[in-house]
Amino acid sequence: MKVLIGDDEPKIRGDIDSIIDWKNSEFEIIRESENEFISRREKEENKLENKKLDKNFDKLKESFLKDWMKGKIRSSEVEKDMRYFNIKYTNSMGLIIVKPLIKDKEIIEDEKKVDLLSYGIYNIARDIMNKFENLNVFIDSKKQVVILCDINPIKYWHGAVNELENMINKYLNINVVICASFLRNDPVQVNIVYKSLCNRLIDKSKKTPVVIEVQKYINRNYNNEDLSISEIANSLGISQTYLTRLFKRELGMTFADYLTNVRIKNAIILMRDPSLKLCEIAKLIGYGTQHYFSNVFRKNVGISPQDYKLGVINGNR
């Protein structure tokens, strides 16, 4: 058996060495110098200390992110705190908030179960969004998962929201509502967008389960040029007449108008990508030709998509 003698006092190490007959014992002594022993001990102590510091740093960072979203950080302190926590903020940042829709009363009343669901969404979000730079993910005080990141490349960020929703449904078997938005160039104004998204989430979550499912179906399939209300009704097992009334009552518009709004909003998102041509954007949002897309866009936005995209590129929108 091998034995290590270690102590920072040479006299004590010598005394230990002298009182045992090592040659006639089953032990084999291995000597280490004082410096090597102390260095090893200090390294272990430093590892433990660093772990404690890392945990404290992570907690402080999460606290900052929560307060920042709520507008509780003084404007003069925001950028200084961001540098301290190594939070980078570019001119192309986006914000996503995921709100779990929990209908089970037993889960709602069990705070630990709610926390576990939020943490599950948090882990899925980190995996899905890991391809984006300057990523920060945290759980806010409402148990919502907040995702802050650089949105480039936009065409991937654009699809990541649907992927995120699908993975949450698949692995956690719960429904969620998700809202996403671009951020303003000034990080001090992040709380304005955060508050707006939270209000939109509340509004979305008040819809009936059928309408929520219809909205999700449209968000996943709006790029299909032939998407129709009859297809959605058949997919969800409800009558087309009932679905038509539901749109009018809960969304205040027809199916066609709602689908157009979804397509135009997604076109506006994609226009921030300078590498995408308008004909490509038209196909990505479900329009067969650029000409038809241009007519619909002008009718709903008031200007042509060419002029709108030019304004985005020049930083006017």
Tens digits of residue pLDDT in 242-265: 999 998 999 999 999 999 999 999
The residue count for the chain: 317
Q: How many CB atoms lie within 10 A of CB 143?
A: 16
Does pLDDT of 207 surpass 80? Answer: yes
Top-ranked range on mean pLDDT: pick from 47-56, 106-115, 153-162, 281-290? 281-290
Strand order in the sheet with 93-101: 136-139, 145-150, 93-101, 175-182
Handedness of CA 101, 245, 238, 225 (dihedral sign): negative
Cβ neighbours of residue 153 under 8 Å, at least 6 residues apart? 273
Categorise residue 87: left if φ over 0, alpha if ψ from -120 to 50, beta otherwise.
Answer: beta
- Domain 207-317 fold: Arc Repressor Mutant, subunit A (1.10.10)
**Tell me, which fold does domain 68-206 have in CATH?**
Alpha-Beta Plaits (3.30.70)
Give the per-residue pLDDT at 159: 83
* 139/13: higher pLDDT: 139
Model confidence, pTM: 0.79
Q: Could you identify the residue written with the tokens 């219809």?
A: 214
The position carrying tokens 């908030």 is 97
pLDDT at position 110:
82
Contacts of residue 168, defined as CB under 8 A and 6 or more positions apart, other chains included, come to 98, 120, 121, 124, 174, 176
pLDDT digits (tens, 9 = 90+) for 31-71: 554 555 555 555 565 665 555 567 789 999 999 999 999 99
DSSP helix/strand/coil, 59:
helix
> What are the boundaries of each domain within the chain?
2-67, 68-206, 207-317
